[in-house]
Structure 1
Amino acid sequence: MSFLLNYFIYIIVFFIIAIVFERWLKKKWKIKKSKGHFYKAVNPFQRWTEMAMIIAFLISIWFVDNPTSWLIGYFLISLSFRAFMEWKYNREEKEYILTLYSMFIYLLVLVIGFYLI
């Protein structure tokens, strides 16, 4: 019981630090607040490619022995592709910096969550 409580407190503190650091990144790099709550692709190719990756992931998850590493791989590939597309086609907005930061945070939480518990 105390292990789960300690882990829960660790996750909450980790996310608070992550949110504060994200706000600092936005201020330091002068990244504008995103419009809306959902991500908008920079072009149709990115939108269709990300949808195809999601469908391929959901179908392939049934055929793998270790879905944990498959999930980590999916996040790594998906967010890397998104950051590349933002860097390539929308560099002046600097959103790719936040995408790379989000990728780091998601992967860190997934690795800690799946391999320490």
Structure 2
Amino acid sequence: MVIDKKLRKKLDIQKSKFFDRYKRKHPIQTWGESLLMILMVAGTGYFGFMKEGSLDSEVYFLLFFIVFGSFRAAMEWMFAREKKEHIFTVTSVISCFAVLVFVLSIKM
């Protein structure tokens, strides 16, 4: 939140409405995000119930959010570059990556 506010002020980016920010920008984004959601649900069933001890749920979900956020940032950059919302999506991905590194360092 603090980083977002500072970036918005520094880069002079107007804050969009909550639902406007999460509207899909292109049909490719709709299909890609839907496929990623299906993979997440299938992976949750597989890693959560079938293969015990193979991949921790925290790591799985953080990896999912990193992949999902990276895909969304790429779509925002390609199809709605003028709004500069991709910058904030990238900061979220970086935050998830930092948490992933932290979680993995604790587990080792």
Matched, 1:71 2:54: no
Distance 1:41 1:62 in 2: 27
> Does the CA-based 8 Å contact 2:59-2:103 persist in structure 1?
no
Aligned twin of 1:106? 96
Distance 1:48 1:60 in 2: 18
Moved more, 105-114 or 73-82: 105-114
> Does the CA-based 8 Å contact 1:86-1:96 persist in structure 2?
yes
> Does the CA-based 8 Å contact 1:29-1:94 persist in structure 2?
no
Scaled by the length of structure 1, what TM-score is found? 0.71
Gaps in structure 2 of 5+ consecutive residues: 48-53
> Does the CA-based 8 Å contact 2:66-2:96 persist in structure 1?
no
Distance 1:51 1:82 in 2: 12
Equivalent pairs, count: 99
Scaled by the length of structure 2, what TM-score is found? 0.76
How many percent identity over aligned positions? 33
Gaps in structure 1 of 5+ consecutive residues: 1-18
RMSD over equivalenced CA pairs, Å: 2.1
> How far off its partner does 1:115 sit?
5.0
